[in-house]
Structure 1
C-alpha cells in the first residue's frame, strides 16, 4: 500500500514502506526513554513509542513511579495517511537532528500525568551487537539497537505536583531499536502466557559524569553468555571521546528479600575489554522502579504491542506497588534505578533483569517469573 512516506527518500528494497522487513508483521521500530533524579529520590519517568508499518499501527506510553505508586498512560492509533507523525493522542515526540535533542510532550489527559521535556545527549550513541536468533530454523528475532546517555530539562506534573527537571539534577537514558522483534506474551488476561526457563539476563545502562557503560547479557550457564553486547563511552578532560567493547562480563548479585517478586539489592559486574584495563562496577538498587507492563511490554489487560485498537484508543491506571495482585500482574520486567560506583566515581542508571527457573545461580528469586 502506498502512503505519503513513499514520496520521501529512504527506501532500501523495491517494496514500499508498508512492506518493511519483507512484510513480516513483527517488524517494529521503537523509541524508549527514562528520566530520574541524580539524588536517588523515589521517582522515575518512562516513555516510549512503537511503530508497526506492516500492521498499520503506532502505539505509545508514558508513566511515572512516585514512591510506591505507578501512574500509566497508554495509547494507540492507526497510521493512516500520516505514518511518520510521532504523535499518539496527547503524547508526542520530535527529534531535532541538528542538535540531537529529543523533545517529548504529554498534554493534559485523564491519567493526571503531563510533561514537556527535552533529552540532550551527554555522550555519543553506541550501537549494540545485532541480536539474531533462530529456533528450529525459524527466525525469532533480528534486531538492531542504539543506546545513549543524556540529561533532562523541562517540567512534569503528576498527582497535582509539578517537578522541574534540570540537566544537573535529572539524568537518563534512551534507546532506539528496529527489526524483527520476538513477541513477548506474559499477560495473564490474554493467555497463553509464555514460559521461560534456565537463563539470566540483564540490560543495564550505568552512567557517571563523563562516562557511560551499557550492558546486555544473556546466559544459560554462568560465565558463558549466548549474547553479550557491552560498551564503554568516555569523555576525557580534553573533550575527546573514546569507545571500547567488552569481551567478558561476570556478575555477583545479591537479591532483596522481596515477597512479591524479583528485586536486586546489590551486585558487582567485572568487565573485561578488548583494550585497556578491566572495570568493576558496584551497583545498589534504589527505591525507584517502573514496571514496563504499564507500557504494554508483554501485554497488559488483553492489549499487546502493535495490536490494532481502532482509529484511536487510550487507557490509564494507577498501581499500588505494595499490592500483591498488582505485582503479580506487573511481573519482573522493569527499569530499576541503581546507584553505581566504579573507579572512585559515583553515578546512577537503570537495570532491567531477570533470572529464570533452572539457572544454576540465584535460586531464591526463581520462584517468580523472570520477565
Structure 2
C-alpha cells in the first residue's frame, strides 16, 4: 500500500488508503464528463477525464464536432498513487468550488485542438437514481452520477482559430459518475454471449433560461424500464425540485435508420397536468468514434497504453464516405427543446442541451 496526499484529509470510507476502492471489480471507474455548445449547430465540444483504480490507468479525451469535422485528442497514463492529480498529459481538470465551478484545460498540442474553459453551474448539482444492471449473473452497471447544467467562459482553439467562449451563449451540461461499468480491455464473453445486445437509451438534460429538466429512459428489448428519471430543477435554489412522473419517449426516425429526426417526450407530474416537450437534434457527435467509448481495438477507456504517457489525435471528415461510415453508436447531439401547447412554467419555452440516445439491438418498438 502507498499513501497519497488525499490520505491526510478526513474523507476515508473504508479501512483502505484512498488510492484503493472497496471493490476488486476491474471495471470500477471515476469520471468527469462535460459538453459545450452554442445553442446552435455551430460547435459541440465533449470532454471526458476518467480514473480506473483497479486497472491502474487514467485517461482523457476531447472531441469537437464543427461542420463536417470530427476531431479528437486523447491521452492515457498510468494512474500512480495520487488520485488528486487530474493531469493526463495536456489535459487537466481543477475543482474551483465544489459542485459549482470547475476549470477544464487542454494545453496547446500538435493535434489542432486546445482549450481553457471555466464551468459555472446554472442549477444545483443533482444526484440521479442509481444505475444497477445484472446481465447473466454478472453485475455490469452499479454506479451513481450527479448531473448539472451550466455555462462556460474561456476559449477554444481549433486548427489555429480561436473561439471566445462567453456565458451568454455557450451553455452545456456535465456529470460526475463513479462505480462499475464495462471498461478496459475486452474480457472473454462467457455466458454473456446470450445477451440480446439491446441498449435502448435516452438522456436529456434540457436547459432553459431559469430551469432544467433532467430526463433518463432506459429499456430492455421488451420495453421494460431499467432506469428512469424526470425532474425539473430550478436555478433559484430556494425552489424545490419537481418530480415529473414517468417520462414517455416517442422518437421519429429517419427512414431506414435509427437516427432520430425529432422526438416528443411526455411528462405526467403526479397531481399535475401532463405536458410534452419536442426534442430536435441539431448537431450530432458520434461518441464511439475515437473517444474510447467504442469498439476500436487500440483505444478504450481504461485500456493500458504502456508505462509512458501517450497522446494521440484522430480526425475524420464526415463528407467522406469512408469517414461517414464510421459514425455509428451512441450519439451526443446538441438538442433544441420546445414546450408544446403553452406548457412552459415561465415565459422561457425554448431551451437547449444534450440529446443523447442509442437504439441498439431488438426493441419492441421496432418491426425489424
Q: Give yes or no for TM over 0.5.
A: yes
Larger deviation, residues 146-155 vs 80-89 = 80-89
**Alignment deviations for residues 137-177 of structure 1 (CA, whole Å, 9 cap, x no partner):** 33222100110000011111102211111111100000000
Structure 2 gaps, min length 5: 187-191
Does 2:59 align with 1:59?
yes
Distance 2:290 2:68 in 1: 14
1:369 matched to which residue of 2?
none
Contact 1:63 1:72 in 2 (8 A): yes
**How has the CA–CA distance of structure 1 residues 224 and 166 changed in structure 2, closer, same or farther, with 3 Å as cutoff?**
same
Counterpart CA distance in 2 for 1:350 and 1:95 is: 22
What is the 5 A alignment of 1:11-50? 11-38=12-39, 40-50=40-50
Which range moved further: 40-49 or 28-37?
40-49
Output the CA distance in 2 between the equivalents of 1:87 and 1:244. Answer: 38
Alignment RMSD (CA, Å): 2.6
Aligned residues: 354
2: CA distance, partners of 1:148 / 1:129? 14
Partner of residue 6, structure 1: 7
Aligned to 2:101: 101
- Partner deviation per Cα, 1:69-123 (whole Å, 9 max, x = no partner): 1110000111224331111111111011268211011111111111111110001
- Which ranges of structure 1 fall in alignment gaps of 5 or more residues? 187-191, 367-371
**1:68, CA displacement in angstroms?**
1.1
- What is residue 350 of structure 2 aligned with on the other side? 346
- Give runs of aligned pairs for residues 303-342 of structure 1, distance below 5 A: 303-310=299-306, 311-342=308-339
TM-score (norm 2): 0.88
Structure (1/2) with the larger strand percentage: 1
Change (3 A) 1:141 1:199: closer
Q: In structure 1, what is the Cα distance between the partners aligned to 2:322 and 2:185? A: 18
Q: Is the 8 A contact 1:292 1:335 kept in 2?
A: no
245-254 or 65-74, which deviates more:
245-254
**Which segment is superposed worse, 207-216 or 76-85?**
76-85
**Cα distance in 2 for residues equivalent to 1:357 and 1:184:** 23
Residue 189 of structure 2 corresponds to: none
User: For residues 228-274 of structure 1, what are the alpha-carbon distances to aligned partners after superposition, in whole Å with 9 as ceiling and x for unaligned?
Assistant: 122211246xx6332023431112211124x7x64211110001234
Q: Is the 2:197–2:360 Cα contact (8 Å) retained in structure 1?
A: yes
Aligned residue for 2:323, secondary structure, equals: helix
* Distance in 2 of aligned mates of 1:223 and 1:333: 19
Please give the TM-score of this superposition, normalised by the length of structure 1: 0.87
Work out whether residues 50 and 58 of structure 2, in 8 Å CA contact, stay in contact via their aligned partners in 1: yes
Answer with 19-28 or 332-341: which moved more: 19-28
The aligned residue for residue 89 of structure 2 is: 89
- SS of the equivalent of 1:326 reads helix
- Cα deviation for residue 223 of structure 1 reads 6.3
Q: Distance in 2 between matches of 1:361 and 1:65?
A: 30
Return closer, same or farther for 1:308/1:289 CA change in 2, 3 Å cut-off: closer
